[in-house]
Amino acid sequence: MTAAITPDTPVQFLPSVGPGRSKALAAAGIETAGDLLWFFPFRYEDRRHPTRIADLGRNVDSPVVLRGRVVSAGAKVSPVKRMRLFEALIEDGTGAVRLVWFNQPYLSDQIERGDNLAIYGTPRLGRNGLQIESPDWEKFDGAEEDAGAIVAIYSKITNVPPKALRQIVAAALQAIPSIDDPLPAELRKRLGVIGLAESLEAIHRPQELTADFARFRSPAHLRIIMQEFFVFQLALRVRRATEEIKEKTRRIAIGDELRAEVKQVLPFRLTGAQKRVLKEIADDLRATKPMYRLLQGDVGSGKTIVALIAAMIMIRNGHQVALLAPTEILAEQHFQRIRQLLDHSVVTAKATGSMAAGERRTLIAGLRDGYIQLVVGTHALLEDRIVFKSLGLAIVDEQHRFGVEQRQKLFAKGDTPDILVMTATPIPRSLALAMYGDLELSIIDELPPGRQEIKTAVRASSQLDRAWKFVDEQIDDGAQVYAVYPIIEESEKLNLKPLTAGFDAIEKRFPNRRIGMLHGRMSATEKEDVMQRFKAGQLDILVSTTVIEVGIDVPNASIMLIMDAHRFGLSQLHQLRGRVGRGTRASYCILVSDDEKDRLAVFARTRDGFEVAERDLEIRGPGEFLGTRQSGVARFRFGNILRDHDLMDKARDVAIEVLDKEGPVRAEELARKILGVRLPAATRD
């Protein structure tokens, strides 16, 4: 007698799963039947009504489902870009259409003449007429059980054909009756959701493809959204409550002598917003509970100066400070700026992955003994061998580049250190509360005097010659220029201008100009050398990827030219634009693109970073807006923080009620129970 399938049944004991498929599933984070229950479809195909090929002309630029027979198939090389193609022609009795896949020669072994294919893709008019590029596909036969059904489509797993994957998931669904719902009935009622078993059954085997279901807003999807929102908010509240239980052993004093020293190092008078935020931070430093604060400020608003003053307060009270930055370029810039301002009155060190062995030994000893008072570093600061004598303040710059786990790893290096996390990505308050509900929020909403207004213009690629002529004239006048590209090298899948080709073209166009190149694949030494030459005025044009997006400060650079600007989010464009306008020169940002002109025109008219962020959220949603896949960053299967802000608010309210009623210990147990349902990285990004 075959054993009943439960959520704990290993996948190798499911029908149609042999050793090879078991290994492929494990590589995707799927080891049990329970994991498969949480491996959700990313879309559905209604195969009850496939589109006839004869009707494709009415569906140009709209996704369709087709079923047809392959009448020809083969690989070829494109005469235009010399890229490899695989083409197939399918017909369904009403007509034929060409299918094209780029750089997938292995399809020659998988798709042959005579095969019956189910196709999902978007028909477009190309040079050779109507065609469908890079469609999803799978084979079917005459007895195909999915024909005339609503079919769940899952992310592809190596060596597991789509039909076989559906059969494996169907076998795992037998475990649903024995699944334990981690949300008690009373909590489900307060959250307004259905049971977990009912939700999972509906998501994997929908009976009807309603509008709510297709956009992941059905009761089944809402159950998953609310569960993830609730446990996210509960975890934030528990951590905050746990931190508040602790008391700092250190006591911080701010006297006249310290105030005088701070005034001496300030390069300019603080703005009203900086003074307000600095008072909030100083009050936190002097409090008995550890500070846990998020500092938001638009590009160039002076967050670093505020953080440096907080660091001086901590150091003059006998404790150490760590500043964590996401890149070596930004860490180096912080390090040099701090040394310039403090003029060796504070012992400062740098910690990066490219340190020599001797430098690393000196750093480790200096931090352990307390000789080093302030360290600026990258992920190298998180190494286990980095130990502080008395870490009093941990500062994390560009917070969205780090996950919660990484943040916590730094904080664990001190005895309840005060924590200041900073971001120059303007985050609307509602989203900030959802993402960082465990942090107090401070906002610098005022720019220092003297910052130049940046004139922004959108130009088509046909106007590029005119833009380069303007750039040349500005260089004659002493300006320096950033030219930013979205990719480093040519891609056969993306029709974008690559940095390497751009660099060659710019060198040919400006043979008498000094041109440098900067991108993420260069070594730390190479990147630092290029940046120092640009800062010293030894380069006229810096051709770069978005590695210059954060923290780069070259006052003489006054032109930002961004190629294929439609490939960037508005907030990222705002960050890039903020690299200019830092000196006395009139500054310009030129967006070159033939696509999404309306969206870019909105950006060109908008100066305020928070307004940019709001529009970016509306257009792209929170996943792309955050621009990160780091562990611990808010990431939900179906939930959209912007669209579902009312659900997030409800989840937060219920989480606070549960914490107040049950206390931190039992609330944490509930959060762990909910997270005990394994959540593999299952849905398609």
Q: What is the pLDDT of residues 499-513, one digit of tens each?
A: 888 888 999 999 999
Distance CA 114, CA 68 (A): 10
pLDDT of residue 468: 93
Q: Are 34 and 14 in contact (CB under 8 A)?
A: no
Backbone angles phi, psi at 22, to 5 degrees: -60, -40
Asked if pLDDT for residue 382 goes beyond 50, the answer is yes
Helix (H) or strand (E) holding 558: strand 557-563
Give the pTM.
0.59
Asked if pLDDT for residue 2 goes beyond 80, the answer is no
Asked if pLDDT for residue 226 goes beyond 60, the answer is yes
pLDDT of residue 562: 92
DSSP output for 622-658: HHHHHT---TTS---SS--TTTTHHHHHHHHHHHHHH
Identify the band that residue 675 occupies on the pLDDT scale cut at 50, 70 and 90: confident
What is the tens place of the pLDDT at every residue in 463-492? 999 999 999 999 999 999 999 998 775 544
Q: Is 302 helix (H, G, I), strand (E, B) or coil?
A: coil
Asked if pLDDT for residue 436 goes beyond 50, the answer is yes
CA angle 110, 26, 674 (to 5 degrees): 130
Asked if pLDDT for residue 547 goes beyond 60, the answer is yes
Distance CA 490, CA 492 (A): 7
Asked if pLDDT for residue 193 goes beyond 90, the answer is yes
> Left (φ > 0), alpha (ψ -120 to 50) or beta: where does 142 sit?
alpha
DSSP output for 15-68: TT--HHHHHHHHHTT--BHHHHHT---SEEEETTSPPPGGGGGGGTTS-EEEEE
Distance CA 15, CA 2 (A): 11
Instruction: Give the alpha-carbon dihedral of 452, 458, 460, 463, to 10 degrees.
Output: -40
Helix (H) or strand (E) holding 418: strand 418-423
pLDDT of residue 174: 92
Distance CA 519, CA 526 (A): 10
What is the tens place of the pLDDT at every residue in 262-274? 888 887 788 898 8
Distance CA 299, CA 574 (A): 8
Structural domains in the chain plus CATH codes: 1-45+152-175 (1.10.150), 49-147 (2.40.50.140), 180-245+644-685 (no CATH), 256-444 (3.40.50.300), 454-606 (3.40.50.300)
pLDDT of residue 551: 56
Nearest to 639 by CA among 221, 237, 235, 233: 221
Neighbouring residues of 183: CB distance < 8 A, sequence distance ≥ 6: 191, 193, 196, 227, 230, 674
E-strand stretches of 103-187: 116-121, 123-126, 129-133, 136-139, 150-153
Asked if pLDDT for residue 615 goes beyond 80, the answer is no
What is the tens place of the pLDDT at every residue in 5-15? 898 899 998 88
**Least confident piece of the model among 244-258, 362-376, 419-433, 593-607:** 419-433
| Averaged pLDDT for residues 445-466 | 83
Helices (H), 536-632: 570-577, 597-605, 609-626
Residue type, 407: R
Distance CA 581, CA 456 (A): 11
Nearest to 236 by CA among 629, 652, 680: 652
Asked if pLDDT for residue 617 goes beyond 70, the answer is no
Distance CA 478, CA 122 (A): 49
pLDDT of residue 492: 42
Please give the DSSP secondary-structure letter assigned to residue 490: -
Q: Are 198 and 178 in contact (CB under 8 A)?
A: no
Pairing of the two strands 557-563 and 480-484: parallel
Q: What percent of the chain has pLDDT over 70?
A: 85
Asked if pLDDT for residue 143 goes beyond 80, the answer is no
Neighbours of 257 (CB within 10 A): 9
Residue 631 or 62, more confident: 62
**Least confident piece of the model among 404-408, 428-432, 565-569:** 428-432
Identify the band that residue 286 occupies on the pLDDT scale cut at 50, 70 and 90: very high
pLDDT of residue 405: 66
In sequence order, the β-bridge partners of residue 362 are none
pLDDT of residue 682: 36
Q: What percent of the chain has pLDDT over 90?
A: 30
